[in-house]
Amino acid sequence: MLADQAYLGEWGFSALVEADGHRILFDTGQHSDLVLNNARLLKIDLSTVPVVILSHNHHDHTGGLLTLRRSVLPDHPQALSVAHVATGIFYSRPMLTRGEPSGPGAASDSGAAPGRRLVPVPGVEENTMLQTKSDYEQTGGRFVSHDRPFQLYPGVWLTGPIPRVHPERNWSGDGRVVTPAGTVEDTIPEDMSLIIQTARGEIVLTGCGHAGVVNICEYAQRFLPPAHIHALIGGVHLFAASEDTLQWTAGRLKPLGVDYFLGAHCTGIETLFALRPLLGLDRAHAVVGAVGATFTLGTGIDPGVIAR
């Protein structure tokens, strides 16, 4: 997140959601204590937040979970005690290394340089959520895993894993994941978003949008009654996207009627500026997300100081 004023920034994401009296923490940042420190600076009381949503396994979204849980545990054991995730977040991600040359012109199935292949490093696990799961459960917390859309509160939905209808490659790297069907390219299959139904349209909150922002928004139109996207908030992992990709993305999103776009984290600053006119939005309706920025239904975006 872009740092604003006295707040602390990092390559990571976390957002507090307040809907009809319910409070939800969506993702927990990367460094163990950064979200906690920002919450204190913002005077946000996390002891009244019972539920955490983790959008996917990457450490820049899960790194603060244990610190946050332990900070409230002594006096408020029910705070941050339930973490909702999607199926796949606990799949093994073995560390990979470049193997020995495998013959002239050879290449790995995940795009490695010709003549080299990616091979697992025995006993080395890259999915930090496996250890985090054990540590979190030792605090009395519990995980709830979803393999399909789930209504968390009236009008507040978790997507569960999102079908990849369009071939959006909104992730980086060439990792592998061990699934029930075998070891395959890690497309971050558990990537999950939060959808809030309102009278003005849907609010879509993403962590990184690894499933593809178009796939996410169009999926919401299928499992919920069709409604235009009133606000798109969070990371959509387009910071390195080509002009053609941005044109295609905006072309698919614009018919959904995006009224507000608060693009944070891995969206990319230049990407936000490129998408703004393509979506037909102005400076008040499409803003780079900064620490402390807010979106309020009926009021819109308060971007803070640095992104204004």
- Whether residue 233 contacts residue 15, with contact meaning beta carbons closer than 8 Å, is answered with yes
Residue 110 confidence (pLDDT) = 43
Start-end of CATH 3.60.15.10 domains in the chain: 15-92+127-302
Place 111 in a pLDDT band, splitting at 50, 70 and 90. very low
Domain covering 15-92+127-302 assigned CATH 3.60.15.10 in the classification: yes
What pTM was estimated for this model as a whole?
Answer: 0.93
pLDDT band at 108 (very low <50, low <70, confident <90, very high): very low
Q: Higher-confidence residue: 198 or 100?
A: 198
Residues 85-94 have a mean pLDDT of: 97
The pLDDT, as a whole number, for residue 100 is: 64
- pLDDT of 265 above 50: yes
Rounded mean pLDDT of 47-56?
98
Residue 103 — very low, low, confident or very high, per pLDDT cuts 50/70/90?
Answer: low
With a pLDDT cut of 70, the percent of the chain lying above it is: 94
The whole-number pLDDT of residue 102 equals 54
pLDDT in the model for residue 114: 54
For the segment 6-37, what is each residue's pLDDT rounded down to a tens digit? Answer: 999 999 999 999 999 999 999 999 999 999 99
Is the pLDDT assigned to residue 113 strictly greater than 70? Answer: no
Summarize pLDDT for 183-194 with one digit per residue, the tens.
999 999 999 999
Statement: residue 279 has pLDDT above 70: yes
